[in-house]
Structure 1
Amino acid sequence: MSKVVFLLVHGVHLLDLAGPAQVFFSATEFGIDYRLSYVAEHDQVDSAQGVSLRTDTELPDLSTEDLVLVPGWSAPTLSSTGAVSTAALAWLRAHHEAGGTVASVCAGADVLGRAGLLDGRRCTTHHDVQDELAHRYPRAKVIPDVLYVVDDRVVTSAGIASGIDLALHMVATRHGPTIAAQIARTMVVYTRRNGDDRQTSVLLRHRSHVNETVHRIQDIIESRVAERLSLAELARLTGCSQRTVTRLFDRATGMTPLRYQQALRLERAEHLIGHGATMDTAARSVGFEDARMLRRLRAAAVPADHP
């Protein structure tokens, strides 16, 4: 079990908190064992939107697998808001020094700054307070116009809804892009990328559409990725003609169903190889008869169609 601990301050923005919390809660519905908890200086925190939240006041013991996330709050300026005790700042710092991950949404980056966790690191925050954050922490490198930044287990995101992007990224990093894409679809949101980094996941690149027929086709392909799925079989399973399957899939994803399956196979094989599998083992695990096709695809810039 991993803990996700939200450190709250007075005036917390509900979406800064609820967006990431929903992502990690949804992860539990897909079998990932997270336990969410909420801590603050007092046992009640008033949100900026007027909802009062009940919280714990005791800072929990943490392991390196746990995450501490600081949501943002209503802050015309950072310097006069977001009171956090020295004990809480030391707790954040100790967690990171022990190998744990800390994260923030919006103005929450200021708390990480006060804990000394932004010094020498890249970070971001809401565009309204980016300049102030840079002024308060001159040793930090504040990156404008990105959704989130990851630097040595310090993860900071921009304003409000970008906390969802941050949380989806963390789930994808820890548990793979398939789970992240499933959570995003459940939440009816796009799985977005950092403005700095290329979106590398096939699932995340090609699930940002609203065509339910194509989503059903993708579900079939993803659940049977190692099988030889013909266009005729996909058409039968979705109640469409082969021509309609091809047309809809290309319009939504920019590729054919077989090319999509090939890209998925390559991505999963790369994941297995990265975790110690041999080329032959990875190739057979994802449906290739041997490693020759996998070697050719790895060497190519764009995966080729191959049933």
Structure 2
Amino acid sequence: MTDLYFVLTPNFMLLDLAGPAEAFQIAANHGAPYRLHHVAPVRELTCSIGLKQHQLALLPTPIPHGATIVLIGTQNSKVNLLLPEAQQVVAWLREHFDATQHQLACVCSGTMLAAYAGLLDHRECTTHHEILERLRIAAPLAKVLDDRIFVQDGNIATSAGICSGIDLALQLIEQDAGPLIAQAVAREMVVWLRRSGQDPQLSPWLAHRNHLHPMVHKAQDLISRAPRERWTLDRVAAQVHTSGRNLARLFQQHCGVSLHQYHLAIRIATAKQLLNHPQLSIEHIAEQAGFASARDFRRVWQKETGLLPSASRQ
């Protein structure tokens, strides 16, 4: 079980908290191993839109091993992050956060708290575009990146603000609980999986999901859940109760790729995960990922990566 501690300071941005927290809670409802906590230096705080948050738990000391700390941004951060309560959070991070034992996720100006605590030194990071220069001053040893939705450097992740906190949450959910749960969360929240052009390419599990067409989502779900199956266009079309011709049109229109291309990308992603297990043979990986043979797998993998599977594993 992973403990998620959402750390609040005076006038915290409600959407900075609610967006990621809802994503993690929905993931927990789908079986992800999350337990949510809302903590602060004091028992009661008021958020950016005037709602009071009562009966907050106090900052945990020590922070449990394996916990994820989520630093929530605040309204008018230039002023509010210098308040005594916010500075208590900075002191707490300095004393208790251990980068070898804990994970850190920063939403919007929450990144500034990490900067003040010295946690971003020699790491790539980002924050809301209006405070990027302040972040550079607060963390002169950090590599601050512009025009990024979120940045992940090891076990420390930072995001640009407000809605991008949901993007960051989905990224962490995929890493912790797998792509199928991340897909389910995104669909339930009816959110697009947004990334800027400079971010690493979306994993095939989450790519091509920036649409709301239920039939196409259902087809993608079928393929994602059983990539080793022989999913012909007509077979998938029968499962989603339409014709192959109509499904091909809809898939290209809403995903920008053919169903065959999507299936191949999911098979490659499956094989990539399996290659992380050195005890598995190339033949077994090819079978589990749905390739016709180890030879077929090697051919496709080399075409996609320029390397043989054995070299990629090394």
TM-score, length-scaled by structure 1: 0.91
How big is the shift at 1:136?
2.5
C-alpha distance in structure 2 between counterparts of 1:222 and 1:88, whole Å = 41
C-alpha distance in structure 1 between counterparts of 2:155 and 2:273, whole Å = 21
3-state DSSP of counterpart to 1:210:
coil
Contact preservation (8 Å) 1:38, 1:56 = yes
Tell me which moved more, 139-148 or 254-263.
Answer: 254-263
From 177, 191, 194, give the equivalent of 1:192.
194
Identify the residue that residue 69 of structure 1 maps to in structure 2: 70
**Deviation by residue 1:86-130 (Cα, 9 ceiling, x = unmatched):** 664354243334431112111111111121112222211111111
From 102, 105, 126, give the equivalent of 1:103.
105
C-alpha distance in structure 2 between counterparts of 1:51 and 1:146, whole Å = 30
Identify the residue that residue 237 of structure 2 maps to in structure 1: 235
What percentage of aligned pairs have identical amino acids? 35
3-state DSSP of counterpart to 2:275:
helix
C-alpha distance in structure 1 between counterparts of 2:140 and 2:303, whole Å = 43
Contact preservation (8 Å) 2:4, 2:68 = yes
Contact preservation (8 Å) 1:71, 1:104 = yes
Letter in 2 for 1:297: V
C-alpha distance in structure 2 between counterparts of 1:8 and 1:115, whole Å = 16
From 190, 210, 213, give the equivalent of 1:211.
213
C-alpha distance in structure 1 between counterparts of 2:59 and 2:133, whole Å = 33
Identify the residue that residue 289 of structure 2 maps to in structure 1: 286
C-alpha distance in structure 1 between counterparts of 2:11 and 2:177, whole Å = 32
Structure 2 counterparts to residues 1-307 of structure 1, below 5 A: 1-54=1-54, 55-75=56-76, 77=78, 81-84=82-85, 88-93=89-94, 94-193=96-195, 195-276=197-278, 277-301=280-304
How big is the shift at 1:194?
5.3
Letter in 2 for 1:47: C
3-state DSSP of counterpart to 1:106:
coil
How big is the shift at 1:40?
0.8
**Structure 1, unaligned runs of 5 or more:** 303-307
How big is the shift at 1:254?
2.3
**Deviation by residue 1:55-94 (Cα, 9 ceiling, x = unmatched):** 1124154344210011100115257645446664354243
Contact preservation (8 Å) 1:11, 1:48 = yes
3-state DSSP of counterpart to 1:300:
helix
**Structure 2, unaligned runs of 5 or more:** 306-314
C-alpha distance in structure 2 between counterparts of 1:292 and 1:229, whole Å = 20
Contact preservation (8 Å) 1:102, 1:153 = yes
Contact preservation (8 Å) 2:8, 2:71 = yes
Q: 1:136 to 1:256 in 2, by over 3 A?
A: closer
Q: Which runs of 4+ in 1 moved over 3 A?
A: 60-64, 78-91
TM-score, length-scaled by structure 2: 0.89
Q: 1:198 to 1:10 in 2, by over 3 A?
A: same
How big is the shift at 1:290?
2.5
How big is the shift at 1:222?
2.1
Once superposed, what is the RMSD of the aligned Cα atoms?
2.1
